[in-house]
Structure 1
């Protein structure tokens, strides 16, 4: 059992706020109770964003969840969330006032010798959130303008993803390959073609439904062993996806508004352990930038840190990494690493 209470500081709120200091401080609580004999964990998260008690209900966010790992490696979760925050692409951040539900997430299943990886998720929720009356229109500006009051509906959601990666090129490995210098494990170099099909089906208790099925194809390239002083690591990623959309959610937070999109990303060593990178997601139908993140990283074999900033979500992250020096060059098959594939904060 663990309980962590963390004072919070929100510097941006300290400037120009009518409530002054009380608007810029807060409190966060994280409670976890692990039950190894039942393969389960119960967790509670609560955050009070500003000590302004007349706005207590609007400033509090909380979630209680009970997760159980099943025998096949999947996971069952029972969740209640209050004022849950979702990033909805072109619709920006949306708040779900109340959500009570249960879900099952499968492990990644390898389908025989095909190289195909399948995963799926089933969820049932009771949701209290802002509504959206228009079933057809997917324009974000009109969707936000036509928002109704909060509505309460049940939702059954089914989702599945099928992926396969094809190696296109990899450099030959020799006994003279240098040991890791800036990464904990050797970098896995190569070029891969990634393909996938995903489907999401949502059914609501008022009779409406939202269906989205998409395919994706992309190239992921890692060039360089990250051992030389300059430009010895380059990670490039390009992914295109497009799909078929039918119907529209009665809620605003889970309405799909980006059907065709392109993801572009890179991560590049400049000098020594210093790497810079960026990743952007573009809606090709409108030409609008849906998401973007910038990254600055400093990596050593046993420690590192990265600084990330997302101007679209107006968020940032500082990540510190400490790990053991657990690579043995005498092993017959050391586990390689890709360094750090580009990730969101």
Structure 2
């Protein structure tokens, strides 16, 4: 036997409240009248093939003075209950349904063994194998109490999963990468370039918690789009929810689809709520990470934000910058404004190694050291505001030392007004940009500082040329630049520095095509197969990359620098990263040769490295441990451009990466947790206002 239960939140026109509203609607327009806000819900129970009964459920309210507005009688909230057996106790006003109970309400579906509905108290209590589904979110428990009118409830012994796969990625317009300088770890770049598989789950997001800092010398065009772990599983002793918000006690949260999980977040209490449109916040107490159900790492952080924007990933970040910060340093980011369209953050920094050993990286001033010296403290600030779908404003400020006497030499800043032009699905980007003391890396010429620049830059999107699979990108800019030169004709005899001021007109175009030479097979999607040490299946492959580029720079001094370059390279990976020993080898090799006419009067954009070779290898040693090196040379003079050493500990749910570059004197320690909304740490080259110059183009 089955029953059908309907609860209507809106009164019929024959009810006392409806009559009162009809009278009120006959009053003059905008006249305020006193109404008693009590509506009568209508409950209809019906056995399939049986009789139909109607009940009135009063919903008490408060008296208030309100402006009369018509009530749409066609809008009805429905609660439906179906079960094998049912009975109604008239004295207690309780309906009991048992056997394969299905309850539909508030865009949710709940199944259970037994349910009781108290009409007087307007509460439903379900027991036995309770399973609540709302959209893609799943809650399970032994007992569920639901308040019909308020759309809130309590679940005992709760467990379930949250689907995070619908979050979108931010895309950026960047010029193509140049492999002579390593960007992210080689294993990450190979994963981005591996062939698409037939895996159904396509989305992944990341979080960095605790000490973390990753760096990127040249940010790529791609973003991670692999990933199988798209659901976050949880268990809790008790969970209360109201609408889409909830709070829980003794919560266990994991991104591992397998049990027992290799990584968990455990908290004593948790509260999940929507703070803005598309932004949710998880607030916890006594948070700790548990690895392999044995090793516990306490987290002092108790607030996690889920949205589409990059977030600060941890309590503090650890970085290494010998050129400007004296080596090892720590930092913490604080949000001043964190809204959907506008963000503003500040990041205080403390230079540990500069405080303890100030002369190690050339900071030899006797006063430049000590735990409380202003020179051992720095600060960065970042501001971003989306003014409209096409317009945005961004600004960054970095101060590498708070000594007021050296403030001008320690200050770097950038401000840019950006506009997207054309089709928003693949737009051009135009930027009016001004910089002060921008830090650039120009290959074998090393670090260069552009004292100031102001101008406009137009960057195209990736343009596919017909059906050739050839991609085109171009850039054009006009900038007034003040930077260092080694040309005596631009320098006065009684000068204070080696800078000159010129206007530069620059145009650049890049063509590239990639050929997939060979592709292997992935392993089955199991905890001991494809996902043993990786959050996504490793696809063995070989790929040939080719490209040509041309850059023309004209200067107001009547100088010019026009260069042409071609490059060819092969990259690939072997193994599936599943067995214990030597089951993964990734590599890349790129040869680049160019020719140019003329020479830039500046040092920061001079095309010095015309023939280069870049090599990289990443090798599994044992289990989750991989080691790698990425290096590049100027073949004309044999000088090394950059060498990057990498040590990785990779698991499907999390990973640790240690990187150090002795040439650039930068390094990082990165702890990455897969499949949360954060993207991980800002990279030192962007965070420290360092950008590479390749073939005379600031990328």
TM superposition score normalised by structure 1: 0.85
Greater displacement, 67-76 / 99-108: 67-76
Q: Does 1:170 align with 2:519?
A: yes
Partner of 2:498: 149
Are the counterparts in 2 of residues 106 and 121 from structure 1 also a CA contact under 8 Å?
Answer: yes
Corresponding residue for 1:63? 414
Q: Which residue of 2 aligns with 1:22?
A: 374
SS of the residue aligned with 1:38? coil
Q: Which residue of 2 aligns with 1:214?
A: 565
> Residues of 2 paired with 1:319 and 1:65: CA distance?
29
- Closer, same or farther: CA 226–151 of 1 in aligned 2, 3 Å: same
Q: Which residue of 2 aligns with 1:233?
A: 584
Question: Deviation of residue 237 (structure 1)?
Answer: 0.6
Asked if the contact 1:168/1:191 (under 8 Å) is kept, the reply is yes
Q: CA deviation at 1:92?
A: 1.0
Residue from 471, 477, 490 that aligns with 1:117 = 471
- Gaps in structure 1 of 5+ consecutive residues: 136-147, 327-343
Alignment RMSD: 2.3
What is the distance in 2 between the residues matched to 1:213 and 1:103?
A: 21
Q: Distance in 2 between matches of 1:172 and 1:301?
A: 19
2-structure distance, mates of 1:197, 1:212: 11
- Equivalent-residue separation in structure 1 for 2:351 and 2:435 (angstroms): 23
* Separation of aligned partners in 1, 2:488 and 2:671: 45
- Residues 175 and 46 (structure 1 numbering): CA distance in 2 closer, same or farther, change over 3 Å? closer
The whole-number CA distance in structure 2 between the counterparts of 1:115 and 1:95 is 38
1:78 paired with 2:407, answer no
| SS of residue matched to 2:407 | helix
Tell me, yes or no, if the aligned pair for 1:301 and 1:325 is still in contact at 8 Å: no
Q: Which residue number corresponds to residue 324 of structure 1?
A: 675
Distance 1:6 1:325, change over 3 A: closer
Cα deviation for residue 176 of structure 1 reads 8.7
CA distance in 2, matches of 1:269, 1:45: 39
Cα distance 1:134–1:272, how it changes in 2: closer, same or farther (>3 A)? farther
Tell me how far 1:174 sits from its aligned partner: 7.7
In structure 1, the partner of 2:660 is: 309
Larger Rg: 2
Mark the CA change 1:234 to 1:174 in structure 2 (over 3 Å): closer, same or farther.
closer
TM-score with structure 2 setting the length: 0.43
Equivalent in the alignment of 1:130: 484
Determine if contact 2:522/2:576 at 8 Å carries over to the other structure: no
| Change in 2 beyond 3 A, CA 1:151/1:176 | closer
Secondary structure in structure 1 of the residue aligned to 2:436 = strand
Matched with 1:46 is 397
The structural deviation recorded for 1:112 is 1.3
Report runs of 4+ in structure 1 exceeding 4 Å deviation. Answer: 172-177
Q: What residue in structure 1 maps to residue 195 of structure 2?
A: none
What is the distance in 2 between the residues matched to 1:274 and 1:174? 20
Aligned mates of 1:287, 1:152 — CA distance in 2: 33
Partner of 1:143: none
1:2 corresponds to 2:343: yes
Which residue of 2 is the match for residue 139 of structure 1?
A: none
SS of equivalent residue, structure 2 residue 558: coil
Residues 30-51 of structure 1, C-alpha deviations (whole Å, 9 max, x = no match): 111123x333331111111111
